[in-house]
Amino acid sequence: KAGVTQTPRYLIKTRGQQVTLSCSPISGHRSVSWYQQTPGQGLQFLFEYFSETQRNKGNFPGRFSGRQFSNSRSEMNVSTLELGDSALYLCASSSGQSSYNEQFFGPGTRLTVL
């Protein structure tokens, strides 16, 4: 079974631009969660989607948004990029049937904002 895939793996943008990151979950998984990881703040939850609906949201500004498609693939968008948005963005999938289903992570997208 293929794991979680994320594209692109690396991205360099400049302040003010916008970016879209993509995540394809493990086949059969309906839940996709997004996390931001920085050295200073650690791993922070962005949002979770389940069956195309946002089920939970972290404390991030409205510049961070996401969506999930009918095939469970998910995209995350960050508009008006700031230097502080430089981070590793991790996507995780789970079956979503229970809060306790383990989440399987992708390799991440490393975003650098110049």
Torsion (CA) 51, 96, 62, 85 in degrees, nearest 10? -130
Is 60 a binding residue for other proteins by CB under 8 A? The answer is no
- Please state whether 9 falls in left (phi above 0), alpha (psi between -120 and 50) or beta: alpha
Which tokens belong to 96? Answer: 């979503």
In the window 89-108, what residues touch other proteins (CB under 8 A)? 90, 92, 99-100, 102-108
Is 34 a binding residue for other proteins by CB under 8 A? The answer is no
Residues that bind other proteins (CB under 8 A): 33, 35, 42-43, 45, 48, 50, 55-56, 58, 88, 90, 92, 99-100, 102-108, 110
